[in-house]
Amino acid sequence: MGILHDDVVIITEPKKEGDPSVITINCPDKTGLGCDLCRIILFFGVSIVRGDVSTDGKWCFLVFWVVGNSETRWDLLKKRLMDTCPSCSSASGIYFYRQELQPPKPPDVFLLKFCCYDRRALLHDVTVALCELELTIKKVKVSTTPDGKVMDLFFVTDTRELLQTKKRQDEVSDHLKAATGNAMISCEIEKVGPEITACSQSSSFLPSAVMEDMFNLEMPAELPSGLLTSSCVSVTMDNSLSPGHTLVQIMCKDHKGLLYDIMRTLKDYNIQISYGRFSMKQRRNCEIDLFIVQADGKKIVDPSKQKALTSRLQMELLRPLRVAVVSKGPDTELLVANPVELSGKGRPLVFYDITLALKMLDTGIFSAKIGRHLVKDREWEVYRVLLDEGDGLSVPRKKIEEGVWKMLMGWE
């Protein structure tokens, strides 16, 4: 193709204030590339307001119109997007990336033991610092001691793959100290085995009624009243408009990570997008047209396969995350769950949004855990936050549920 390395990803600043920036990506294709790119854009807190995607199965061209903020690190975003794109040399003779031929090396996992004096919103400030350092939180255990200290155990991976070095560890320690002021007591980092963050096979870690509601992936005939969901989602399939592709048309309300949720679902089903267009209309209503094929390059004609994919897309867009506030003995626990990609990658910024929402609700955190659980043959990332009620929970449970849900959906 003759494309220069620096031209693989181009980010164009808006010509006038209020207009979106434009990200143009021109590189070899691989199955699931759109999902991987959208996950990175979501991690950087950037919203996609319009998009065009096209590929011939060997080379792809993507354009995203995006909106960031004053703190968006555009140069670093470009670098991470370029790191994700296949090298240009892989375009010759290889139509689609084959995971079984190129198994990705799992990233090293490190235990970050962080001890400090407790204060309001401390956990969110620490989470912000870890995000700024490009450390991905895989598992967490946070506890508060009676003498007003907090012991945070973060199992993390390092996007920069340098956490084994003293220089990088010192950078992390200094950044956390700056973020927490004089509250930090100690910070220790050590490498651990990947089995530490492995998925738990236990499916009885929650009451059965909560399990059934939170981890249902089937589209019910009628949604229960009071359930936190997005607005009406319409998903239709049509095989009459293209001789070689199935057209999927989606209409729904926008939410944070919308395009990522669509892309990860199609990636899990091993569906390839040949052409797609995403646009946002009035009142954040979105329209998405996708021309897709199966892994064998053929359109989807089997009615059962059409129904399964349609139902899963509807459910993933109605409830991309699950939120509930429940009783745990005499205490109150916030539960948040989201499905993990079949590749093993989780949703970005969930813990960040949870801690930010609780900070805005002026609700303290007594303890927190993040773990992965296998429920109904699907892996889930589950966040369990025991709320610090003090003299009694001053914020109603329903308000906490709605506040966390709106933050996660980008509707705050």
With 0-12 / 13-18 / 19 or more C-beta atoms within 10 angstroms meaning exposed / middle / buried, residue 141 is middle
Q: What is the model's pLDDT at position 350?
A: 96
Q: Is there a contact between 361 and 399 (Cβ–Cβ < 8 Å)?
A: yes
Half-sphere exposure at residue 182, Cβ-oriented, CA atoms within 13 angstroms: 0
Max CA pair span of the chain:
70
Q: How far apart are CA 46 and CA 400, in angstroms?
A: 25
At 20, is the secondary structure helix, strand, or coil?
coil
Rounded Cα gap, residues 69 and 47, in angstroms: 10
d(CA 333, CA 324): 8
- The pLDDT tens digits for 295-331 are 999 999 999 999 999 999 999 999 999 999 988 888 8
CA distance 106 to 333: 32
The pLDDT-based confidence of 93 (bands split at 50, 70, 90) is: very low
- pLDDT of residue 230 exceeding 90, the answer is no
- Cα–Cα distances (Å) from 317 to 170, 257, 259, in that order, read 41, 10, 10
Q: How confident is the model at residue 158 (pLDDT cuts 50, 70, 90)?
A: very high
Cβ atoms within 10 Å, residue 130: 22
Distances in Å between the Cα of 390 and the Cα atoms of 120, 135, 363, 368, 395 are 12, 32, 10, 16, 12
State the CB neighbour count (10 A cutoff) for residue 157: 18
Per-residue pLDDT for 292 more than 80?
A: yes
Average pLDDT of the chain is 87
Res 127: pLDDT: 94
**Mean pLDDT over residues 385-390, rounded?**
83
| Helix H or strand E segment including 401 | helix 397-409
Q: Is the predicted pLDDT of residue 266 greater than 90, yes or no?
A: yes
Main-chain phi, psi angles of 121, to 5 degrees: 65, 15
End-to-end CA distance of the chain: 44
Residue 88: pLDDT above 60?
no
β-pair type (285-293, 272-280): antiparallel
- For the chain, counts of helices (H) and of strands (E): 9, 16
Average pLDDT over residues 36-51: 96
Residue pLDDT, tens place only, 337-368: 999 999 889 999 999 999 999 999 999 898 89
Any idea which of 80-84, 94-98, 161-165 has the lowest mean pLDDT?
94-98
pLDDT exceeds cutoff 90 at 229: no
Tokens of 335: 């539960």
* H or E stretch at 176: helix 166-180
Q: DSSP letter for 145, please.
A: -
Q: What number is the average pLDDT over the span 354-383?
A: 90
pLDDT at 116: 92
Tokens 């990947």, located at residue: 194
Q: What is the spatial distance between Cα 113 and Cα 13, in angstroms, rounded to a whole number?
A: 40
Q: Does residue 262 register a pLDDT over 50? A: yes
